Structure 1
């Protein structure tokens, strides 16, 4: 029977280090009984600008909240 055999993920966050790996292993059997496997590992592309964008958005929300309170 065709289908996914397993799926696993790993996430590590440390002092400035980010690692996220996603691995899929697929096993398939054809009508003659032969098996084949596909192993796919996906690694991220770092987006340094995303951190600055997030900090800017959070800072803007904080300023908006502060103005409404005072």
Structure 2
């Protein structure tokens, strides 16, 4: 599965919980959240646009770092 890295403007556990919640609703994703560095790594067959749109539902600023 393709892996993508995003920065998400998370400042607390509540923020990372919001990211977890929206990604779990999307389904078909494996992800890791690194709260101190504000990074989210996602393995998914979903398009980058879909992942960006989903992460933005948290109301946080989201930036694509790199597809790997």
Bigger radius of gyration = 1
TM-score class normalised by the smaller sequence: under 0.3
TM-score, normalised by the number of residues in structure 1: 0.23
Higher relative CO (Cα under 8 Å, sequence separation at least 6) belongs to: 2
TM-score, normalised by the number of residues in structure 2: 0.24
Would you tell me which structure has more strand in proportion to its own residues? Answer: 1
